């Protein structure tokens, strides 16, 4: 019986060629002769579709080994290096586009009530008041309301002092590790907003820098 005379559709023929399944009723041809308590075994071939899948995985494995595991530009390590280099470039670009976020050279003082209020709250929560007193009149630390400065007045100097601390051994630590940049900016702005106020018990002026000069 040739295939045409079987009168089956192309799809059925395809399925048949992919499975090579034995036709029901012809099992006797592939029946193995052993018998386990009545259970018998057919010696069917591995279905071609399954074998094709297996061969494809073998080919992919070879391709993967050559292309990905070190013999080409798809090397994972180089790829990682490239990605890191690209990311670094992106960071640089971002930094150059937003210098105000990364450099303190052009830092400015906040003047709006909201940020000043936040600075005031931080002055308490970050324990600044313990050394400078709640009204900034000074104690262990200098008076922050007068125009005499040990380390320099103005937003840049004050921000710098809060970030990096005072002179060694004086007690004013560097706060940049524990207070965020924006919070240090709010603190510095609050200190500036308190310039010229009159504390209850002002500490005598310290520092030779008069700021602003007048």
Q: Which is nearer to ligand HEC, 166 or 202 (CB)?
A: 166
Task: Quote the least distance from Cβ 187 to ligand HEC, whole Å.
Answer: 4
Three-state secondary structure call for residue 19: helix
Task: Quote the least distance from Cβ 65 to ligand HEC, whole Å.
Answer: 59
Q: Which is nearer to ligand HEC, 62 or 190 (CB)?
A: 190
Packing angle of the helix pair 154-164, 181-193 (nearest 10 deg): 130
**Residue 151 φ then ψ, to 5°:** -115, 0
Q: Which is nearer to ligand HEC, 18 or 209 (CB)?
A: 209
* Calpha distance 136→193 (Å, rounded): 11
Q: Which is nearer to ligand HEC, 48 or 171 (CB)?
A: 171
* Calpha distance 171→164 (Å, rounded): 12
Rounded to 5, what percent of the chain is helix, strand, coil?
50, 5, 45
Q: Which residues bind ligand HEC (CB under 6 A)?
A: 126-128, 130-132, 140-142, 144, 149-151, 158, 161-162, 166-167, 170-172, 175, 187, 191, 207
Per-residue b or e along 132-156, where b marks 16 or more CB atoms closer than 10 Å to that residue's CB: bbebbbbeebbbbbbeebbbebebb
Written as one string, the DSSP assignment of 136-172 is S--SSSPPSSSSEESS--HHHHHHHHHHH-SSTTSS-
Q: Which is nearer to ligand HEC, 75 or 129 (CB)?
A: 129
Task: Quote the least distance from Cβ 200 to ligand HEC, whole Å.
Answer: 18
Task: Quote the least distance from Cβ 105 to ligand HEC, whole Å.
Answer: 18
């Amino acid at each position: 019986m040739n295939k045409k005379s079987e009168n089956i559709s192309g799809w059925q023929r395809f399925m048949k060629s992919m499975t090579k399944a034995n036709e029901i009723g012809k099992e006797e041809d592939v029946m193995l002769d052993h018998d386990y308590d009545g259970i018998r075994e057919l010696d069917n071939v591995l279905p071609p579709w399954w074998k094709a899948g297996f061969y494809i995985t073998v080919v992919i494995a070879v391709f993967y080994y050559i292309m990905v595991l070190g013999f080409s530009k798809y090397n994972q390590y180089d790829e990682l290096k490239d990605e890191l280099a690209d990311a670094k470039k992106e960071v640089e670009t971002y930094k150059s586009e937003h210098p105000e976020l990364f450099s303190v050279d052009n830092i400015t003082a906040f003047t709006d009530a909201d940020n000043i209020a936040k600075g005031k709250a931080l002055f308490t929560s970050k324990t600044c008041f313990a050394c400078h007193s709640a009204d900034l009149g000074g104690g262990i630390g200098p008076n922050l309301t007068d125009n005499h400065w040990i380390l320099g007045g103005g937003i840049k100097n004050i921000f710098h002092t809060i970030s990096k601390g005072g002179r060694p051994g004086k007690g004013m630590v560097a706060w940049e590790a524990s207070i965020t940049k924006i919070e240090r900016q709010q603190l510095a702005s609050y200190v500036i907003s308190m310039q010229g106020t009159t504390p209850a018990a002002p500490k005598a002026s310290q520092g030779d820098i008069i700021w602003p000069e007048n």
